[in-house]
C-alpha cells in the first residue's frame, strides 16, 4: 500500500463534537507524513479562512479543498476557483425565497454574505463556519466577488424532503448536497471535493489509488468514491457508509488519526 495523499473532511470526521482534535497526536503524525512525502489535504464544505484557523503555524504548508471544492488553495497559493454567474445567483435566490423555513448564506472568494434580516441565532451559526461573513441589505446586491456556493440551513427533520424539493426546483443550475446537522450546500455541477482533489493530483502526479479519504456526509460521496482507500466514520450517514471501503471509529474516538497512524505505519 502506497499512500501519497490523505484527504479529510472536518465536521463530523476530523473534528470531534467539541470542534477540535488531538493536536499533539496530529502533529506527531503530520511530521511523519512530511517525512514520507504524504500530502495532507483538508476537504470541507467550510470556508478557507475558517479551515486554516485550525492549523496555526502550518496552514501555509497544507492544501485546502474548501467550499466543497469551489476554492482550492495549496501552500497559500490559489489553485482553482469556481464561479456561479450572477443570472444564476438571482434565479436561485428567487427559488429559495419560497422555502420559508430555510436560511441562506452566499459564499464567495473574499467573504461570505448574509442578509441583514436573518435572525441573530443564524448569524451566530454562520460565524462558526465563515470567519469572513458580511451582513448586506439583500443577497441580490452582492456584486464585487467571485461567488461559488450557497450554504443553507433547515430544521434537521426537514432535510430529506427539502433535498428532494430543491433537486426538483433547481434543475441543474446548482446541485444540493447535505453537509450534516440540517445544513445543505448548493454547489456548482461537477465541482465537488473529488474535483478539488483532482486539481491537486495534477500538481503532484498522484494517482487515485494513492489517495486515502475520510468523510461522514453526503458532500463526501464523490471524494470517497474517487479515492483508492475510503473511510467513513461510524457516526457517518447510512447512505455514505455504503460508499466506503471501511467504517472506522467515530469522530469522538480519534477515528481518523488512529487510521492515519496505521496507514503510514507509524
Domain boundaries, the chain: 5-81+191-263, 86-187
Architecture category of domain 86-187 in CATH:
2-Layer Sandwich (3.30)
* Residues involved in catalysis: 9
Q: Which pTM value belongs to this model?
A: 0.93
Which tens digit of pLDDT belongs to each residue from 64-89? Answer: 999 999 999 999 999 999 999 999 99
Q: Which pLDDT score, from 0 to 100, does residue 12 have?
A: 95
Which tens digit of pLDDT belongs to each residue from 37-64? Answer: 999 999 999 999 999 999 999 999 999 9
Q: Which pLDDT score, from 0 to 100, does residue 266 have?
A: 66
Assess if CATH 3.30.70.360 describes domain 5-81+191-263: no
Between the alpha carbon of residue 63 and those of residues 19, 59, 156, 197, the distances in Å are: 20, 8, 31, 10
From first to last of its 266 residues, the chain has per-residue pLDDT tens of 799 999 999 999 999 999 999 999 999 999 999 999 999 999 999 999 999 999 999 999 999 999 999 999 999 999 999 999 999 999 999 999 998 889 999 999 999 999 999 999 999 999 999 999 999 999 999 989 999 999 999 998 988 899 999 999 998 999 998 887 788 999 999 999 999 999 999 999 999 999 999 999 999 999 999 999 999 999 999 999 999 999 999 999 999 999 999 999 86
Amino acid at each position: 500500500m502506497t499512500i501519497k495523499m490523505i484527504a479529510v473532511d472536518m465536521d463530523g470526521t476530523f473534528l470531534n463534537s467539541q470542534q477540535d482534535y488531538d493536536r499533539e497526536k496530529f502533529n506527531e503524525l503530520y511530521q511523519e507524513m512530511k517525512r514520507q512525502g504524504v500530502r495532507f489535504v483538508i476537504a470541507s464544505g467550510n470556508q478557507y479562512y475558517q479551515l486554516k484557523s485550525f492549523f496555526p503555524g502550518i496552514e501555509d504548508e497544507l492544501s485546502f479543498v474548501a467550499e466543497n471544492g469551489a476554492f482550492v488553495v495549496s501552500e497559500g497559493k490559489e489553485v482553482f476557483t469556481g464561479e456561479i454567474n450572477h443570472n444564476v445567483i438571482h434565479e436561485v435566490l428567487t427559488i429559495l425565497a419560497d422555502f420559508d423555513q430555510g436560511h441562506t448564506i452566499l459564499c464567495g472568494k473574499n467573504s461570505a454574505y448574509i442578509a441583514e434580516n436573518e435572525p441573530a441565532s443564524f448569524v451566530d451559526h454562520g460565524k462558526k463556519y465563515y470567519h469572513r461573513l458580511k451582513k448586506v441589505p439583500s443577497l441580490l446586491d452582492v456584486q464585487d466577488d467571485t461567488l461559488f456556493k450557497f450554504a443553507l440551513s433547515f430544521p434537521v427533520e426537514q432535510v430529506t424532503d427539502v433535498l428532494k424539493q430543491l433537486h426538483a426546483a433547481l434543475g441543474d443550475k446548482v446541485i444540493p448536497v447535505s453537509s450534516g446537522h440540517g445544513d445543505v450546500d448548493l454547489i456548482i455541477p461537477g465541482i465537488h471535493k473529488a474535483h478539488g482533489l483532482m486539481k491537486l493530483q495534477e500538481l503532484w502526479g498522484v494517482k487515485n489509488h494513492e489517495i486515502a479519504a475520510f468523510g461522514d456526509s453526503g458532500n463526501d460521496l464523490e471524494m470517497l468514491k474517487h479515492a483508492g482507500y475510503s473511510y467513513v466514520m461510524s457516526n457517518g450517514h447510512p447512505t455514505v457508509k455504503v460508499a466506503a471501503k471501511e467504517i472506522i471509529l467515530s469522530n469522538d474516538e480519534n477515528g481518523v488519526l488512529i487510521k492515519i497512524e496505521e496507514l503510514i505505519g507509524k
